[in-house]
Amino acid sequence: MPMLRLAAAALAGLLFGVGLAMSGMLDPARVRGFLDVAGAWDPTLAVVLAGAVAASGLGTALARRLRRPVLADAFDWPTRTRIDRDLVLGAVLFGIGWGLSGFCPGPAVAALSGGALPVVVFVAAMLVGMAAHAALRRPRPSR
């Protein structure tokens, strides 16, 4: 079963990466064009996002009808529903990084296949940020 889960995850990742490449979302200029609402606005990302929301909505509706997932013992639904300071701060940092670089994590990892230096730098910085977050969030031993 672990190999089947790994194969399913790899196939899903491949499908996601191919979809990003086909839609042009690996090009940071296209993303920045979407964010340039006062200039030469490019609506492509809005169409891609609408398709992603529709597919996600259908998948979630289907999953909620199932007793358990096919390749796991139970669903791992989110339990936190509160909007707190950490969520807002994370969203702001994500938005700033996305607007400045034109990349968010998924497309950046997929764009690594092209080997461009800006993508490599972005992914390296993202990994450093993730490690720093994990280190800062680690519970400290009590004295």
Overall average pLDDT of the 22-32 stretch: 86
Cβ atoms of residues 20 and 106 within 8 Å? yes
> By the 8 A CB rule, do 110 and 17 touch?
yes
pLDDT band at 59 (very low <50, low <70, confident <90, very high): very high
Residues 71 and 1 sit within 8 Å (Cβ to Cβ): yes
Distance CA 104, CA 95 (A): 9
Structure tokens given for 113: 């296949």
pLDDT of residue 110: 87
Q: Three-state DSSP class for 37?
A: coil
Model-level pTM greater than 0.75? no
